[in-house]
Amino acid sequence: MALTTGFALPKFNWRRGKHAWDRHTWLYVSVLIAVVLGAVVGLVWPEIGQGFETLGKGFVALIKMMIAPIIFCTIVVGVGSIAKAATVGKIGGLALLYFMVMSTFALAIGLLVGNVIHPGAGLDMASATYDAADTEAKTTQEFILGIIPTTFFSAFTGESVLQVLFIALLVGFALQGLGERGAPIMEAVKQLQKLVFRILGMILWLAPIGAFGAIAAVVGKTGIAAIWSLGILMGAFYITCILFIVVVLGALLWTVARVNIFSLMKYLGREYLLIVGTSSSESALPRLIAKMEFVGVSKPVVGITVPTGYSFNLDGTAIYLTMASLFIATGMGQPMSIGEQIGLLVFMIIASKGAAGVTGAGLATLAGGLQAYRPDLVDGVGVIVGIDRFMCEGRALTNFTGNAVATLLIGTWTKQIDRARVRRVLGGELPFDESLLDGVDAHATSGGSQGADVQDLREAALTEMAAKEERARMRAGGA
């Protein structure tokens, strides 16, 4: 079916959607059971629990195997998205500027909270490290020169993720310089990205095994303190996300648009339930587009801001990445210096773009960031796997709320919003017509290729908006 945004959604049937939802639920429950069993084994039979550490390391090794292709594909596609959004006039430029500022702010908040509460203190994860002394740069000059690979392809076979990032940026900007001639190559990268994320999805089905091994090992070494530390990280993460939404986003929304954050969240209640059911904010993307238009924001603003925000405005993911990194560093007895934290923050800002809609991409980005700046900490990701599924909802809900707020803010700043309609809709005088979205929820649970579908939807929106602006310029020139 086609929404009122001017572009068509891919068609999905309810049977397929229900099947994908069941698979997601099964995996979620399996990870939960694996974590509980791992904790029990570690507490009751500590030595046996430590023997299962290989399972956790094996799962992390599979994730590490996918870091280079994931970083390459997401950066190349992300650069394309940035260029296309930036060409769509004032709206695109303003949206990108806002997204970069807010993502950086969210990452900084995660670092601040992590440095205050020191999650991971008291854990014994030291045995998960490996000696990376020979690969670490000892001077600034060595670090800079180390970013340049020996050959173009050696970046993908070496240990340095920064070399992959460097090559990806070069390829992305080169493709933009080629214009239409580079379109077939960009399409090939997008198809490769679909394959890479499908492989990642297959690997994630082993998450229960990896979680069991990692939790059993760390609890076997540390005892009940491990469970307590993991609980502190989860609690601190959710509290940080709540405060970010209510205090930061709420204050900004009221100051700029005079809209109450709780009224907006009530209006998006059904979408929140959908997100909790799928652990993905991308599942509600079509609904958010329709609801933001219905609330009174113009189609051009919605068509640019919402799809682009799903790649460049991931506030919840930003908070998660920084707090999880500090948790691993502290738990392994090797806290990060301020310089390393800032470098990691910059890497996360770049590497987290372009992977919208892909379950597990956050875990891969976390591993990639640690591999780039502290490779001796990468194996600690195995412990995070055990609780990653329980923090998915927090990330997704924060990301979704951030994009809804951004749409209202951009609409206000560009004066393309009907304030009277906003008050009526959020006040309940003009309820949203759910019949406009018949069948769309099936798209939300389509599974597997969801990330590709989100990117296709984003590309369609940006292309349509760019075409409209070009037609408007031509009409103005003719006049």
Digit-coded pLDDT (tens) for 248-280: 999 999 999 999 999 999 999 888 887 776 666
| pLDDT for position 452 | 45
| pLDDT for position 21 | 47
| pLDDT for position 139 | 54
Digit-coded pLDDT (tens) for 214-242: 888 878 877 777 778 788 888 888 989 99
The pLDDT of 62-88, averaged and rounded, is: 72
Closest listed residue to residue 411, CA positions, set 268, 256, 262, 265: 256
Picking from 14-28, 248-262, 278-292, which range would have the lowest pLDDT averaged per residue? 14-28
H-state helical runs in 6-88: 14-44, 46-51, 53-65, 67-86
Q: Are the C-beta atoms of 49 and 217 separated by less than 8 Å? A: yes
Q: In a 3-state reduction of DSSP, which class is residue 8?
A: strand
Overall pTM > 0.85: no
In this structure, which long-range contacts are made by residues 201-206, counting pairs with CB atoms below 8 Å and at least 24 apart in sequence?
A: 201/359, 201/360, 201/448, 203/59, 203/62, 203/63, 203/66, 203/360, 204/27, 204/359, 204/360, 205/27, 206/59, 206/62
Q: Are the C-beta atoms of 220 and 127 separated by less than 8 Å? A: no
Residue burial 400-413, b: 16+ Cβ < 10 Å; e: rest: bbbbbbbbbbbbbb
> CA separation (Å) from 308 to 271, 401, 475?
19, 14, 27
Digit-coded pLDDT (tens) for 318-328: 888 888 888 88
| pLDDT for position 267 | 92
Digit-coded pLDDT (tens) for 393-424: 788 889 899 999 999 999 999 888 899 999 99
Q: In a 3-state reduction of DSSP, which class is residue 247?
A: helix
151 secondary structure, DSSP code: S
